[in-house]
Amino acid sequence: MLQYTIRRLIGMIPIIFLISVVVFSLAKAMPGDALSGKIDPLNSDPAYIEEMREKMGLNDPIHVQYVRWMSGVVKGDFGDSFVHKREVMELVGDRLPNTIILGVSALLITYCLAFLMGRFSGRYAYSMGDYLISGFNYLALAIPSFVAALVAIYIFSINLGWVPATGSIGSGVEPGTIDYFLSKAKHTILPALVLGSLATASYTQFLRNDMIESSRKDYVRTARAKGTKESTIYNKHILRNSIIPIVTLLGFDIASIFGGAIITETIFTYPGIGYLFVESVNARDYSVMMAIAMMLTVLTLVGNLIADLLYGLVDPRIRLS
Amino acid sequence: MKKSAFWLVSVMLFMSLFLAACSKETANEEPAEGDKPAGEVKEGGTVTFGYTQPFKGVLSYAYYEGEDDVNALQFMHEALIKTGDDLTPQPNLATWELSEDHMKLTFKLKEGVKWHDGEELTVEDMEYAWYLIADPTYEGARFANVAMIKGAQEYHDGAADTIEGIKVIDDYTIEVTVTEPSVNLLDNIWVYPEPKHYYGDISSKELPDSEQIRKNPIGVGPFKVKNIVAGEMIEFERFDDYWQGPAKLDGVVYKIIDGSLAQGLIQNGEVDVIEAPKDQWAAIKELPNVNAVEADAMSYSYIGFDWGHYDTEKGVVVSDNQKFQNKALRHAMAHAIDRQAFIDGFANGLGKPLNTPFPSVSWAKIDDSEINGYEFDVEKAKELLDEAGYKDVDGDGFVEDPEGKPFTVNFDAMAGAETSEARAQFIIQSWQAIGLNAKLNGGSLKDFNLFYDTIEADDPSVETFMGAWGLAADPDPAGIWLSTDKWNMWRWYSEESDELIKKGVTFPEDESMDITEHRQQYYDEWQKLVNEELPIIFFEQRIDPWAINKRVQNVKVTPFGTDDFHLWAVTE
């Protein structure tokens, strides 16, 4: 397995290289740069814009720019953000905790809901409850997240006033106190709920179908024949087997936890990676945009590897070599 | 199948009940809020100031770039002089004196002004700010505001160790020598001091990323920073040693929100003061808990004709495009557009047609009776076209140019707002109505970056385009209107205009004459010129809508935003 892992890791290098070329060219293909937005006689002048373009090397040939960027990236230096006037890594590091909190809570919500719904649907397949659940799931799949976010804010924040509509923390709380954590939780719950409950469809249906399939297997018939209680059959024998493939999905979720939720974060003004990403695209803040894209690339590749490894661990029939 | 259809119906029924319940609730809530009587002003309290773009957190006037950061800075720092209601400079932290030959400017600082850390403000802090900005490693955009100080350019180029023109006389007096006399020196020179004792030895290049600016910035304003949550919120608390006496409020929270939620957050009081999104204004101004304030802004939009290109080597515009040289054609195209209908339809009435590049709040604005108003008149527009020789020769419904060749007009506009597409169609259809074959350039709108990239590069497909400018308090049109200006986006070359603009910043020969009057006469002449020549169609001046919660008192709204922060107060 170690050998397999190493081989996979080496195989990633050319992929990362190719993706870096794509990310860089796409960034450069966008019209404008970080200085286009500076056309404003109140705050700058053409001479300054020209001077800064020269200073930042935006006038150099494209391959020179790429080599300069890439040689920094290899050393873990993604350069400075022009818009934020600080190092990209610091900036991303600032936003990561928020995104991880949101990502993990959303994932937990997804897993819990999917587990409960999937278990019910699998056991009582083709019942009314099953149809209701799949109805909900497909509805959630179909609703765009910005619509769900706005409706949720309108109901829970503006009309009911239960939770704040924007931000990741309330005003006037000291870091480290109980109030701080409560405020954090209060601000995270709504975006997490929106994110989490919209993503349940695939997990639920996955679990449901696997349970239905398992329930037709011979060992289940044997158990029934022995007179085992129906609830024991489902909760002990079928569920355990069916949950295995779900666990492997965790690997694929890693990138989504760190990548943040672009639309949801923006609407909730929740300062995470997704929000930062949109902001940088709009401002043509290349260094930030490319750094986030590269980070997600690596995480997706690593996530895939982890998923494969987990698969080998939980299912002895699969040999990784 | 039957079963699932039943479920679908019941799910939908359930949903509609749910939604109905929601809407009922809002209907009940609104009047209840409106009945609240305005209470007495109380001591303390907190006000939330909203904004719809995340802030970068560069909390220093010398380095900040966007409105997002200056919205926070305005609560915590002030300048030596400020812009008065008549848009002329007024004393603030300092008074000034200008020598007879207009070459020496002396600032006299108020004594006892304190920084938030308790140190006293001295002229060294002002000197320090000029040095920071003139520093060779400075990467901000403010050098133009110190370049007029004698020796600043040399220092900036690394040729001198000090700036020759700055002389500290004592702790409260500083004298600046400028390179040449200028009527708008006080509007242009940098007047925001920086805390020298606090920044220490950090270089000008590293300052914007320092803790002193990002995490614990200080100023001399009525509020000091208590807590910064990056990109999301800044909490301010009252600064008790503020030089005009402590503020009435306990604190201010600067909070970033998503624009689409503005109406709801104003309604439920999560945001107290905000420049409201224009597209929601119709609903927001009707909210029972809102004081709706509309303020004339220092900005205008225009439709530019493409006159030619910018000669980068010579640094001057060349008006070599023959298409729009005919004045009658330009006039006709202006008369074709019902600007008031455009403003009412797309901007909730937040704007006024204007006919010169000075909005009505500017002191230099010419009286409307002296210039052409280009009122909406389709018949007149058609007549003008006809007289100029633009006639429909081949009977396709569109006019041909005087030589009988097909005549088309490309129009460019920026995408972004929901109504962008409709706005562009409005203009195009207005021109089509007078017989011009107008169409959207390339069939679609351009995003901000692409728009300016295309126009700045003098792309031949660009013929007419809709843009906008924000203006400073001083009316000097240089920077946009001179034939040497790169931002003369429409590439209009006129020696007469250049001469008038340059005369507008001279001192009167007759010493006794008022400088403003002297400038006014040239600006009147210049406005008549551009109004008649119409190198661009002046479109509308903007009105900024401010939503202020009724519980917040004494908020002063100016063409540049809000003011008088130390007087803000809340009622119970």
Q: Cα dihedral angle (A124, A128, A132, A135), rounded to 10 degrees?
A: 100
- Contact flag A86-B8 (C-beta cutoff 8 Å): no
Q: What is the mean pLDDT of residues B89-111?
A: 93
Among residues A14, A39, A74, the one where a domain terminates is A74
Q: Any CB–CB contact under 8 A between B232 and chain A?
A: yes
Q: Are A134 and B244 contacting, i.e. CB atoms less than 8 angstroms apart?
A: no
Shortest CA gap B214–chain A (Å): 10
**How far apart (Å, rounded) are the C-alpha atoms in residues B322 and B310?**
15
Say if residue A125 is exposed, middle or buried (CB neighbours under 10 Å; 0-12, 13-18, 19+): middle
Q: Are B262 and B270 contacting, i.e. CB atoms less than 8 angstroms apart?
A: no
Identify the residue with better confidence: A97 or B32: A97
**CB nearest to A86's CB, from B209, B231, B469:** B209
Q: Any CB–CB contact under 8 A between A159 and chain B?
A: yes
- Contact flag A41-B453 (C-beta cutoff 8 Å): no
Amino acid at B49: F
B148 pLDDT above the threshold of 90: yes
Residues A207 and A269 in one domain: yes
pLDDT score at A321: 60
Identify the residue with better confidence: B46 or B5: B46
**How far apart (Å, rounded) are the C-alpha atoms in residues B469 and B451?**
14
**How far apart (Å, rounded) are the C-alpha atoms in residues B381 and A295?**
58
- Strand B233-238, strand B251-256: pairing: antiparallel
- Contact flag A42-B470 (C-beta cutoff 8 Å): yes
CB under 8 Å to B32, separation ≥6 — which residues? none
**How far apart (Å, rounded) are the C-alpha atoms in residues B235 and B277?**
23
Residues A259 and A131 in one domain: yes
In a domain, A232, yes or no: yes
- Contact flag A171-B235 (C-beta cutoff 8 Å): yes
B33 falls in which pLDDT band (50, 70, 90)?
A: very low
pLDDT score at A224: 87
In a domain, A320, yes or no: no
- Contact flag B54-A269 (C-beta cutoff 8 Å): yes
Backbone angles phi, psi at B505, to 5 degrees: -110, 20
Q: Any CB–CB contact under 8 A between A60 and chain B?
A: no
Q: Are B216 and B57 contacting, i.e. CB atoms less than 8 angstroms apart?
A: no
Angle at B359 between CA B353 and CA B363, to 5 degrees: 145
- Contact flag B54-A139 (C-beta cutoff 8 Å): no
Backbone angles phi, psi at A253, to 5 degrees: -80, -15
**How far apart (Å, rounded) are the C-alpha atoms in residues B402 and A237?**
89
Within 390-449 of B, beta carbons closer than 8 Å to A belong to: 447-449
Q: Which two tokens mark B293?
A: 């304030």
Q: DSSP string covering B504-555, please?
A: TTSPPSSTTS-HHHHHHHHHHHHHHHHHHH-SEEEEEEEEEEEEEETTEE--
B5 pLDDT above the threshold of 50: no
Residue tagged 């400038």 (tokens): B519
- Contact flag A164-B270 (C-beta cutoff 8 Å): yes
pLDDT score at B110: 94
Backbone angles phi, psi at B543, to 5 degrees: -120, 125
- Tell me the pLDDT tens digit for each residue of A29-73: 888 887 877 777 777 778 888 888 888 888 888 889 999 888 888
Residues A53 and A173 in one domain: no
Q: What is the mean pLDDT of residues B311-330?
A: 91
Residues A99 and A48 in one domain: no
- Contact flag B469-A41 (C-beta cutoff 8 Å): yes
**How far apart (Å, rounded) are the C-alpha atoms in residues B485 and B213?**
34
Range of the domain at A61: 2-74
Helix locations, B281-323, DSSP H: 281-284
- Tell me the pLDDT tens digit for each residue of B381-393: 999 999 999 988 8
Residues A106 and A67 in one domain: no
Shortest CA gap B257–chain A (Å): 6
Q: Any CB–CB contact under 8 A between A179 and chain B?
A: no
B427 pLDDT above the threshold of 90: yes
Q: Looking at residue B37, what DSSP letter applies?
A: P
B501 falls in which pLDDT band (50, 70, 90)?
A: very high
Q: Any CB–CB contact under 8 A between A120 and chain B?
A: no
Shortest CA gap A279–chain B (Å): 8
pLDDT score at B121: 95
Q: Which two tokens mark B341?
A: 């209908």
In a domain, A80, yes or no: no
Residues A63 and A176 in one domain: no
Shortest CA gap A44–chain B (Å): 5
Q: Looking at residue B48, what DSSP letter applies?
A: E
Amino acid at A83: V
CATH number of residue A144's parent domain: 1.10.3720.10
In a domain, A201, yes or no: yes
Count CB-CB contacts under 10 A for residue B457: 11
Q: Any CB–CB contact under 8 A between A278 and chain B?
A: no
Residues A229 and A103 in one domain: yes
B98 pLDDT above the threshold of 70: yes
Residues A179 and A269 in one domain: yes
User: Mean pLDDT score of chain A, rounded to an integer?
Assistant: 86
Handedness of CA A118, A111, A249, A107 (dihedral sign): positive
- Contact flag A32-B450 (C-beta cutoff 8 Å): yes
In a domain, A262, yes or no: yes
pLDDT score at B37: 45
**How far apart (Å, rounded) are the C-alpha atoms in residues B172 and B109?**
5
Report in angstroms the alpha-carbon separations of B38 from B41, B410, B564: 9, 54, 21
- Contact flag A95-B231 (C-beta cutoff 8 Å): yes
Cross-strand pairs, A267: none
Helix locations, B296-389, DSSP H: 327-335, 339-346, 378-387
- Strand B351-353, strand B536-549: pairing: antiparallel
B59 pLDDT above the threshold of 60: yes
In which region does residue B569 sit, left (phi positive, over 0), alpha (psi from -120 to 50) or beta (all else)?
beta
Among residues A74, A99, A114, the one where a domain terminates is A74
Report the candidate in A212, A119, A289, A266 with the shortest Cα–Cα distance to residue B53: A266
**Which residues of chain A lie closer than 8 angstroms to B209, CB-CB?**
85-87
B477 pLDDT above the threshold of 50: yes
Report the candidate in B165, B166, B163, B176 with the shortest Cα–Cα distance to residue B136: B163
Count CB-CB contacts under 10 A for residue A86: 18
User: Mean pLDDT score of chain B, rounded to an integer?
Assistant: 88
**CB nearest to A41's CB, from B8, B258, B479:** B479
Count CB pairs under 8 A between chains A and B. 151
**Chain A: residue nearest B25 by CA?**
A159
- Contact flag A153-B256 (C-beta cutoff 8 Å): no
**Which residues of chain A lie closer than 8 angstroms to B230, CB-CB?**
94-95, 271
- Contact flag A167-B469 (C-beta cutoff 8 Å): no
- Strand B464-470, strand B408-412: pairing: parallel
Residues A250 and A205 in one domain: yes
% of chain B exceeding 70 in pLDDT: 93
Angle at A44 between CA A38 and CA A50, to 5 degrees: 75
B6 pLDDT above the threshold of 80: no
**CB nearest to A165's CB, from B233, B261, B471:** B261
B8 pLDDT above the threshold of 50: no
Residue B305: its H or E element: strand B290-305
Within 29-68 of B, beta carbons closer than 8 Å to A belong to: 29, 46, 48, 54, 56-58, 63, 65
**How far apart (Å, rounded) are the C-alpha atoms in residues A133 and B318?**
69
Q: What is the mean pLDDT of residues A73-92?
A: 86
**CB nearest to B58's CB, from A85, A153, A157:** A85
Q: Which two tokens mark B461?
A: 């497909």
Cα B96–chain centre separation: 27
- Contact flag B257-A165 (C-beta cutoff 8 Å): yes
| Domain count across chain A | 2
Q: Any CB–CB contact under 8 A between A46 and chain B?
A: yes
Three-state secondary structure readout of chain A: CHHHHHHHHHHHHHHHHHHHHHHHHHHHHCCCCCCHHHCCCCCCCHHHHHHHHHHCCCCCCHHHHHHHHHHHHHCCCCCEECCCCEEHHHHHHHHHHHHHHHHHHHHHHHHHHHHHHHHHHHHCCCCHHHHHHHHHHHHHHHCCHHHHHHHHHHHHHHHCCCCCCCCCCCCCCCCCCHHHHHHHHHHHHHHHHHHHHHCHHHHHHHHHHHHHHHHCCHHHHHHHHCCCCHHHHHHHHHHHHHHHHHHHHHHHHHHHHHHCCHHHHHHCCCCCHHHHHHHHHHHCCHHHHHHHHHHHHHHHHHHHHHHHHHHHHHCCCCCCC
Q: Any CB–CB contact under 8 A between B472 and chain A?
A: yes
**Which residues of chain A lie closer than 8 angstroms to B47, CB-CB?**
none
Among residues A21, A39, A74, the one where a domain terminates is A74
Report the candidate in B344, B337, B354, B338 with the shortest Cα–Cα distance to residue B419: B344
Tell me the three state secondary structure of residue B433. Answer: helix
- Contact flag A154-B233 (C-beta cutoff 8 Å): no
Residues A120 and A26 in one domain: no
**Which residues of chain A lie closer than 8 angstroms to B472, CB-CB?**
41-42
Which of B30, B53, B228, B261 best tests the A interface by mutation, with the highest count of A CBs <10 A? Answer: B261
pLDDT score at B357: 93
- Tell me the pLDDT tens digit for each residue of B506-547: 888 877 888 888 999 999 999 999 999 999 999 999 999 999
Shortest CA gap A107–chain B (Å): 24
**How far apart (Å, rounded) are the C-alpha atoms in residues B221 and B77?**
4
**How far apart (Å, rounded) are the C-alpha atoms in residues B442 and B428?**
13
Q: Any CB–CB contact under 8 A between B94 and chain A?
A: no
Residues A244 and A158 in one domain: yes
- Tell me the pLDDT tens digit for each residue of B172-226: 999 999 998 888 899 899 999 999 999 988 999 889 889 999 999 999 999 999 9
Q: Are B537 and B528 contacting, i.e. CB atoms less than 8 angstroms apart?
A: no
Q: Looking at residue B371, what DSSP letter applies?
A: S
Buried b (16+ CB within 10 A) or exposed e, A231-245: eebbeebbbebbbee
Three-state secondary structure readout of A24-45: HHHHHHCCCCCCHHHCCCCCCC
Q: Are B508 and B521 contacting, i.e. CB atoms less than 8 angstroms apart?
A: no
**How far apart (Å, rounded) are the C-alpha atoms in residues A299 and A172?**
36
pLDDT score at A117: 92
Residues A69 and A99 in one domain: no
Within 256-315 of B, beta carbons closer than 8 Å to A belong to: 256-258, 260-261, 264-265, 267-268, 270
Which of A82, A87, A146, A158 best tests the B interface by mutation, with the highest count of B CBs <10 A? Answer: A158
B328 pLDDT above the threshold of 70: yes
In a domain, A50, yes or no: yes
Report the candidate in A302, A262, A267 with the shortest Cα–Cα distance to residue A280: A262
**How far apart (Å, rounded) are the C-alpha atoms in residues B280 and B336?**
29
In a domain, A194, yes or no: yes
Handedness of CA B115, B119, B122, B128 (dihedral sign): negative
- Tell me the pLDDT tens digit for each residue of B78-96: 999 998 888 889 999 999 9
In a domain, A82, yes or no: no
- Contact flag A32-B471 (C-beta cutoff 8 Å): no
**How far apart (Å, rounded) are the C-alpha atoms in residues A187 and B232?**
12
Q: DSSP string covering B136-197, please?
A: TT--SS-GGGTTTBTTHHHHHTTS-SS-TTEEEEETTEEEEEBSS--TTHHHHS------HH
**Chain A: residue nearest B51 by CA?**
A269
B355 falls in which pLDDT band (50, 70, 90)?
A: very high
Q: Are A284 and A33 contacting, i.e. CB atoms less than 8 angstroms apart?
A: yes
